[in-house]
Structures are given as structure tokens and as C-alpha cells.
């Protein structure tokens, strides 16, 4: 044990001489990472030194001759790994947002190292016995609620991850965890590779009839950058193919692009993910059964609000039935429109968006292209910031000359009404070859209070894949993009406003079926008339969005919700079906998906939002048996927003104060307890069904 400590000290000394910016205390504003100084060669030495340091910190707790106490064991353990948090916070954020082959190779080396470290801590019996000693005495220690939560969650993290297993099962668990980590990396890399490799060029502009000029300009710039000037390039990235699905008259092109998107990593080539999925499921089932559970879903859900798969299944079915009926009515209406163009033919998935857009124009006189000029990216972001100012008194100041990992990244200082620092927010909104699809929020540095009582404020990042500015236009967002920006900003607020003492309980460290509440709550504000008038300015004229357009947006608010909800719920049910398996023997991924969709009654006109081979949420990012949480949290967010509406003021100060308190608590309290404290009663699911127009 002393040898490990000595090696860690030697590594730190050598690296200090080489001035590794990941290990040196950064001489940067607000202590943010020195992205401008970090090079590829810094990552592996930094991981090695940081892992050695955490091992030494843990060994010091284990070897403490004093009787275990809350401070010398539970708090001491929470304070380990701060250097590793910094190194990993930088590396994995850059990997996801601006990665390359060299970083992928580093990740493949680091993943088993991180897994070995985690298992070495969780499966250290001497450490667990100290934790258990404190846990068993917890009622006699006079702990406050947050301290009690830390003791309980620390004990559970050991017990739920194998500390009580016999030695042979502990060894097998280590092997499973290491292999799962590598499989997760492989799955994500395959999706990125397939997305980047698929390029569909159009050489005749006539084939793009109906496509907005802005979308054609973006496709032309993509083609030029790819060495095909005078052509138009479309890829499986949503910003590229979505306008085609919505507006392009070319039915065959719509079909090709949707198939490009929905068949990624499912082509029996080197990037095929079917075998990866089968192996992941084999290991997840084996892992769950090591802990005495029949299936991965029940093992995973034990620490969530839902608790078990029966509760989730019943919940999903309660929303699925009205959603599917609404989708069937919508399909019938779209079929009538299709008949006018293609008599006798059946509506297909690649027709839905196109004819839905036509119907929206006919029914509500709402053309999304008419709205886009009012949704310039920086203005939309200011609108989201403005909501946070009105609700919570937060102020946002853009910081220039800050170290960033890519020129597209922008940085903001966030302060409260008294001028005190709340945190630092990075935004990175444009697609690039090394960025994984989608949008997300992450910590770069967590919030916590150290032993000297210093409150370390968080560094948070919001990442997206919105339209990049072209030579003639700024970045103009679709309605879906606007909602996404507000959504991820809601996650950012959850992280920024954290007021926890302990990093393992701060910010978004909450149950997965609760963590989407703050993000989805923010979506309620993006199209509120009062809010729209603060950010929706025409990018050319500066004109504020007219009242008639706002009225159209609100009138169309319930339009196409059957499709939206059915697409989402089918992915949630598919996720649960995978993770309710008790064996993966003979699993055929495509056949399993088809059977699942048949059992749920999915209509042929809609494709599930995420098909298995590119379902990053459940095979790479830790949402396995958890995609339902978006709908679970939607019940909470609709009910929380109703609390504001009931006051007659969407920015009611007292209600906002209670909701801010909920956000500040992070994971320091039971999620259900926090919500009941805010609302005074259980969430009413009818608020969600009413919002979607499924019930009166």
C-alpha cells in the first residue's frame, strides 16, 4: 500500500516538472480548465496521476487507526477524487463534443482503468466495513438530513455495486464492469462513424423542390466543404435531413434520408452494433442476477422513484393508450392528404413529417420556415437566460478571451441578484465531425463545499447540434431546436444553482426519473407570449414576433402530439423490453425490436424514435431501463408548471422561490419528498394529458 502512495507521489512530481495543465492548478479566470494549453499527450499521464492520487486517498481512509466516524470515513470518501473529477470532466466532455481517433484510443485505455478504480473502491471490504459501521450507527449520530442522506447513499452505492457479494462474484463483477465500459465506447464510436460515413449528394436542384432556401444553402456549403462544389450534401444528422422530411416534395429522397438515419450501425459491417447490443445485454443480465434480480430493469430501478419494472410498465401503458389513439387519428388525416398526391398509396414514415407540415399550414396557417427568422440562436439563448433572471434573479455575462476547446464554444459568468458567483456556463451548439449526435448538459467541475467551508461553484456545459451559420444567414432554429435549447438550459440551471455540501449529492446527482423535471419544466416557457417577445426578433429587420404568429404557435400547440408522444413512448417501451429480459440467449436484435413494436401495437406509419443500433441513451449514456424518465418527469413538469398557472403569474415570486429551493437541493433529499414539499400534493398526470390535448 505504501508503494502505491510513493508511485503516486513520484508521478505527481514528474508531471509537475512538465507542467501538465490538467494537473497544475489552472491560472485561469474562476479556475476553469486551461483548455487552450491541454494537448493529447497530457491526458494519459493526468489520468494515471489522478487515479494514483485517489487510490492513495482511499488507502488513507482504510488505514486510519481511529474508529470510523461520519467525518473520517463518509465525508473523507466523498472528498476523494477531486483531481480525477477535473481530469475526467475535461477529457470526457471534449471526447463527446470534439473527439477524434486519438481521443477514442485514449478512452479505450482509460475506460478499464476507471472501471478498475471504481471496483477497487466499491469492492474494498475493509473500506466497506468502515462505511457499514457508520451506517449502522447513523440514528445515534445526530446527523442533519443532508448528512443522513450522504451516509445512506454512500452505503447503498457500496451494497448496490457488489460490496456484499462473495469474493468469487466480486471478481466476476469486476470483469463485467470492465467489458461493459469498453462495449459502451465501441457502441458510441460506431454510431459516430456511421453518421459521418453516410453522405448523400444531390446533383440536380430540381430534386430539392420545396426545400427552403436556407436548408439548400446549408447543404450546398456542406457539399463544397466535402469537395463537391455545385452539389448538395445531406447526412443522417438531424439538422441536415429534418428539413428534407418536412418540406421536400421528392418522396424518394425523403425515404432515402430517413432510412439512412434509422439504419445506422445496422449494416453487417465493421460499425454494426447488433453484436455489441447482444453482448451488453448478456452482461447486464448476468450482473443483475449476481445481485439476485431476475432482470436488469429491476436492478436499475431499485434506486429510482419508480422502484420496479411493473410500476414503469403500468405508467407507460397509461400514457401509451391515449397517445396511440391520437396518433391513429393524425395518421388518418395525413392519409387523406397523401391520397391527393398518390392515389391508392399508403402513408409511410417518410411521409409523416411532410404531410404533417402541410396540414399544420392548412389548419393553423403556421409555417415553421416563417418562424425561423425570429429564432436566431443567440437571441433564443438570451430568452432562456431572461426566464432564469425573472424566476430566480440570475444574471448572465459573456466572458471573452476564456480558454475553450473549440472556437465555437462561448462562456458565461452566472451571478445571483446580490452579485455573488453562481457558476460558469459553457455553450457549444454547432455540429462537427467529432461530436456525437443530440444535445446534453454535463458538469465540467462539480459544486461542493470543502473542509474549510469554501463553496466551489460549478462549471457546466450545454452542448447541441443546431444549424451552423452560413455565408448569408446566422444560425436559425426550428421550433424543436428552441425547445431543446431551453431543455438543456434547464439541466444547466439544476447544476448551476446547487447548494449541496457534498459533491456526490450536488446538482444533477438525483434519480434518473427525477433529473428530467428541471429541464422539461423550462420548455414550458419557450413559447409563452410574454417570453417570446423578449427574444423572438427577426434577424434581418429586428422586428419583434407579431401577435398573429404567437397566436398561431399557441393554437398549434397540441398539433401532432400523438406522433410526438407515440414516437417517444415506443422507444421507452422498447428500452424496458430489452431490460426485462432474463436471458439473451438466441437474441436477434432486429427481430426483437419488430416483436416489441408488434406487441405494443405500434402503427406502421411511425418509426420508433431510437432504433436499437443507434440508441445511445440506453447503450452508452446510462439511461438503460430509464428512457421512460422523460415521460415520468413530464408528469412532474406539467404539474409543476400548473402550480405557476394557478397563481395567474408564470413568474410568481413565491412559487419560483419554492421551485428554486427544489433545484438547489440536488440529491440531498428524497426526490418524492422534495416534490411534495414544493407542490403540497402528488403530481396530477391529467395536467400532462391536458397539455397534449388527449383529454379536455
Residue listed under C-alpha cell 457502441: 187
Three-state DSSP class for residue 139? helix
Query: What is the Cα–Cα distance from 305 to 638, expressed in whole angstroms?
Result: 17
- 3-state SS, one letter per residue, for 9-32: HHHHHHHHHCCCCCCCCCCCHHHC
- Nearest in space to 106 (alpha carbons), one of 51, 40, 48: 40
Contact in structure between 76 and 151 (CB atoms under 8 Å): no
Catalytic residue among 153, 222, 330, 488: 488
Contact yes or no for 236/244 (Cβ under 8 A): no
CA distance 601 to 591: 15
| Spatial distance between the Cα atoms of 490 and 637, rounded to a whole number of angstroms | 11
Q: Is 605 a catalytic residue?
A: no
Report yes or no: 123 and 129 within 8 Å, Cβ to Cβ.
no
CA-nearest of 360, 380, 382 to 370 is 360
- Residue the block writes with cell 447490443: 277
Neighbours of 108 (CB within 10 A): 14
Helix (H, G, I), strand (E, B), or coil: what is residue 190? Answer: helix
Q: Whats the size of the chain, residue-wise?
A: 696
- In angstroms, what CA-CA distances link 617 with 86, 281, 610? 24, 14, 9
**Residue found by looking up cell 459568468 in the block:** 413
User: Nine-digit cell at 81?
Assistant: 477524487
Structural element, H or E, at residue 669: none
> d(Cα 437, Cα 343) in Å, to the nearest integer?
37
Long-range pairs of 654-662 with CB within 8 A, sequence gap ≥ 24: 656/391, 656/392, 659/391, 659/521, 660/391, 660/392, 660/497
Phi then psi for 144, rounded to 5 degrees? -80, 170
The answer to whether the CB of 250 falls within 8 A of the CB of 209 is yes
Q: Which three cell numbers stand for residue 517?
A: 423535471
The CA dihedral of 133, 135, 137, 140, to the nearest 10 degrees, is 150
Please, which contacts does 298-305 make with residues 24 or more away whose CB atoms are closer than 8 Å? 300/579, 300/624, 300/625, 300/626, 301/625, 302/160, 303/156, 303/160, 303/511, 304/511, 304/512, 304/513, 304/626, 304/629, 305/511, 305/513, 305/514, 305/632, 305/671, 305/672
SS3 letters across 244-280: HHHHCCCHHHHHHHHHHHHCCCCCCCCCCCHHHHHHH
Residue 461 CB: number of other CB atoms within 10 A? 24
Angle between helices 512-523 and 479-496 (to 10 degrees): 120
Helix (H) or strand (E) holding 424: strand 421-428
CA distance 226 to 233: 8
CB atoms inside a 10 Å sphere around CB 420:
9
The catalytic residues are 488
Amino acid at each position: 500500500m505504501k508503494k502505491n502512495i510513493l508511485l503516486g507521489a513520484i508521478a505527481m512530481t514528474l508531471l509537475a516538472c512538465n507542467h501538465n495543465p490538467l494537473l497544475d492548478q489552472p491560472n485561469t479566470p474562476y479556475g476553469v480548465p486551461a483548455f487552450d494549453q491541454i494537448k493529447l499527450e497530457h491526458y494519459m499521464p493526468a489520468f494515471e496521476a489522478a487515479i494514483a492520487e485517489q487510490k492513495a486517498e482511499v488507502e488513507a481512509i482504510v488505514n486510519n487507526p481511529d474508529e470510523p466516524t461520519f467525518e473520517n470515513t463518509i465525508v473523507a470518501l466523498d472528498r476523494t477524487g477531486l483531481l480525477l473529477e477535473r481530469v475526467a470532466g475535461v477529457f470526457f466532455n471534449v471526447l463527446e463534443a470534439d473527439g477524434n481517433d486519438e481521443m477514442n484510443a485514449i478512452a479505450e485505455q482509460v475506460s478499464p482503468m476507471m472501471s478498475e478504480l471504481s471496483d477497487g473502491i466499491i469492492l474494498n471490504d475493509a473500506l466497506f466495513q468502515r462505511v457499514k459501521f457508520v451506517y449502522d450507527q447513523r440514528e445515534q449520530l445526530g446527523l442533519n438530513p443532508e448528512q443522513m442522506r450522504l451516509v445512506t447513499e454512500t452505503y447503498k452505492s457500496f451494497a448496490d455495486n457488489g460490496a456484499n457479494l462473495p469474493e468469487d462474484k466480486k471478481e466476476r463483477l469486476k470483469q463485467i464492469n470492465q467489458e461493459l465500459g469498453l462495449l459502451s465506447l465501441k457502441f458510441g464510436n460506431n454510431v459516430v462513424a456511421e453518421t459521418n460515413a453516410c453522405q448523400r449528394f444531390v446533383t440536380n436542384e430540381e430534386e430539392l423542390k420545396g426545400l427552403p432556401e436556407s436548408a439548400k444553402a446549408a447543404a450546398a456549403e456542406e457539399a463544397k466543404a466535402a469537395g463537391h462544389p455545385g452539389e448538395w450534401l445531406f447526412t443522417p444528422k438531424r439538422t441536415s435531413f429534418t428539413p428534407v422530411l418536412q418540406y421536400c416534395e421528392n418522396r424518394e429522397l425523403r425515404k432515402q434520408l430517413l432510412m439512412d438515419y434509422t439504419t445506422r450501425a445496422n449494416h453487417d459491417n465493421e460499425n454494426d452494433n447488433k453484436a455489441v447490443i447482444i453482448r451488453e445485454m448478456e452482461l447486464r443480465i448476468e450482473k443483475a442476477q449476481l445481485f439476485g434480480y431476475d432482470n436488469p430493469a429491476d436492478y436499475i430501478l431499485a434506486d429510482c422513484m419508480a422502484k420496479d419494472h411493473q410500476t414503469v410498465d403500468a405508467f407507460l401503458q397509461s400514457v401509451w393508450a391515449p397517445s396511440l389513439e391520437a396518433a391513429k387519428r393524425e395518421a388518418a388525416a395525413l392519409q387523406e392528404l397523401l391520397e391527393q398526391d398518390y392515389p391508392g398509396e399508403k402513408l409511410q414514415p417518410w411521409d409523416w413529417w411532410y404531410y404533417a407540415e402541410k396540414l399544420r399550414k392548412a389548419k393553423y396557417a403556421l409555417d415553421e420556415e416563417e418562424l425561423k427568422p425570429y429564432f436566431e440562436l443567440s437571441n433564443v439563448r438570451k430568452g432562456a437566460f431572461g426566464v432564469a433572471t425573472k424566476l430566480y434573479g440570475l444574471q448572465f455575462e459573456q466572458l471573452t478571451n476564456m480558454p475553450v476547446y473549440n472556437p465555437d464554444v462561448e462562456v458565461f459568468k452566472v451571478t445571483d441578484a446580490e452579485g455573488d458567483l453562481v457558476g460558469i456556463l459553457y455553450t457549444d451548439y454547432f455540429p462537427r465531425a467529432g461530436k456525437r449526435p443530440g444535445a446534453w448538459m454535463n458538469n465540467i467541475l462539480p459544486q461542493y463545499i470543502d473542509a474549510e467551508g469554501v463553496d466551489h461553484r460549478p462549471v457546466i456545459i450545454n452542448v447541441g447540434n443546431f444549424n451552423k451559420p452560413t455565408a448569408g444567414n446566422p444560425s436559425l432554429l426550428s421550433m424543436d431546436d428552441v425547445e431543446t435549447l431551453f431543455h438543456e438550459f434547464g439541466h444547466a440551471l439544476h447544476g448551476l444553482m446547487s447548494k449541496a455540501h457534498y459533491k456526490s449529492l450536488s446538482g444533477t446527482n438525483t434519480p434518473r426519473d427525477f433529473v428530467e423535471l428541471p429541464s422539461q419544466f423550462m420548455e414550458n416557457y419557450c413559447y409563452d407570449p410574454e417570453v417570446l417577445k423578449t427574444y423572438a426578433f427577426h434577424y434581418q429587420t429586428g422586428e419583434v414576433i407579431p401577435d398573429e404568429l404567437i397566436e398561431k404557435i399557441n393554437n398549434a400547440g397540441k398539433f401532432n402530439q400523438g406522433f410526438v408522444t407515440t414516437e417517444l413512448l415506443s422507444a421507452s417501451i422498447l428500452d424496458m423490453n430489452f431490460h426485462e429480459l432474463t436471458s439473451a440467449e438466441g437474441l436477434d436484435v432486429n427481430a426483437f425490436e419488430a416483436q416489441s413494436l408488434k406487441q405494443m401495437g405500434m402503427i406502421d406509419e411511425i418509426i420508433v424514435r431510437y432504433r436499437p443500433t443507434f440508441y445511445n441513451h440506453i447503450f452508452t449514456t446510462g439511461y438503460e431501463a430509464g428512457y421512460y424518465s422523460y415521460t415520468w418527469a413530464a408528469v412532474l413538469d406539467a404539474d409543476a408548471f400548473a402550480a405557476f398557472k394557478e397563481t395567474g403569474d408564470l413568474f410568481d415570486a413565491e412559487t419560483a422561490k419554492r421551485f428554486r429551493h427544489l433545484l438547489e437541493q440536488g440529491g440531498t433529499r428524497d426526490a418524492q419528498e422534495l416534490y411534495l414539499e414544493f407542490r403540497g400534493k402528488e403530481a396530477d398526470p391529467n395536467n400532462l394529458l391536458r397539455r397534449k390535448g388527449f383529454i379536455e
